[in-house]
Structure 1
Amino acid sequence: MRAATLANMNWTGSRRFTYADIDSTPEFSHYFRFDESSGDFGLAAESNGRLVGLAWLTFFDATDPGFGYIADGVPELSISVWDGYRRRGVGRSLLRALLGEAQNRRVERVSLSVEEGNGAVNLYKQCGFAPVEGNPYNAYIVDLESRA
């Protein structure tokens, strides 16, 4: 998850952040502090026995919000597909499976934050995410109850 978080932070392809940056910045490092006791869960994608992507939901609260924080009880999505496996349906499969598992766990809504210019926003929109008006971090949300 740490490598996936770093890849997400460097989605442009340029090295904007290092492991030292994400490790020492609480706003970044809390994305890879997985806490099952708070409800966090995720899925992995493999190809020929090799890990090629991760998707997970993190339950943040108002005392330690993520960039896509909407409200307590609304988990934030993180998803990363390794270079060489993008644009092959891996991200779409991971996202759909994760949202399905979220529905099974009776999660009502899921949020995310995506930087301007990130092409992944098209995938998010295709999976039902809509922009949250007025959010300074370009947050999106999907209502899982309406996806049923």
Structure 2
Amino acid sequence: MTLREATTDDLDLLYDLLLEAFNWDGTPRFTRDEVVADTHTARYLGGWRRPDDFGLVAVDGTVALGAIWARALPAATPGYGYVADDIPEIGMAVARPDRGRGVGSALLAGCVEQARGLGWRALSLSVEDGNTAARDLYERHGFAVVGRNGGSDTMLREL
């Protein structure tokens, strides 16, 4: 497995993985068409890749295993894990067959380093209640709960 920078050519992959993240427990709560059409989802991926957007894709040869992406959102149109205008919120997913193999950990560690190198002061995210595997991963990488949004916790990692 290697990590490469997420590019504008990865938009379809990122939407597929965002759907995977929304349906993290295997319950098909959303369809891909619903994710693409949703105005809130557009905050995360609409116009990808803006000048401050960044992310990584984990690949095995030419096969994408997962991805992580980040975007700073303004208070006027916050994401689920919004903390501040100058703290990018990350989205991340690993393809179901590739979970439990260290892909998520590699993506998260790479994103933290990428954000640090770009001069960001912190990263935030949102994790749903019950998604203990993701929550445990985030905690191992230094994220801590700083807020609550509906049935999800907002987590922050200072850089």
Give yes or no for TM over 0.5.
Answer: yes
Which amino acid is 2:118 matched to?
A: R
Q: Which residue in the other structure is 1:142 paired with?
A: 157
* Equivalent AA in structure 2 for residue 21 of structure 1: E
Q: What are the equivalent positions in structure 2 for 1:106-121 lying under 5 Å apart? A: 106-118=119-131, 119-121=133-135
**Contact 1:113 1:138 survives alignment (8 Å):** yes
For normalisation by structure 2, the TM-score amounts to 0.85
Query: What secondary structure sits across from 1:110 in the alignment?
Result: strand
Conserved in 1, the CA contact under 8 Å of 2:44 and 2:71?
yes
1:58 aligns with 2:71: yes
Gaps of 5+ in 1: none
Aligned to 2:38: 25
Q: In percent, how many aligned pairs have the same letter?
A: 34
| TM-score, normalization by structure 1 | 0.91
- Show structure 2 runs of 5+ residues with no match: 1-13
1-side partners of 2:103 and 2:142: how far apart? Answer: 17
Q: CA RMSD in A?
A: 1.3
Equivalent position of 1:130 in the other structure: 144
> Which has the larger share of strand?
2
Whole-angstrom CA distance in 1 between matches of 2:43 and 2:85? 15
Alpha-carbon distance between aligned partners in 2 of 1:72 and 1:96, rounded to the nearest angstrom: 22
SS at match of 1:84: helix
**Moved beyond 3 Å, runs of 4+:** 133-137
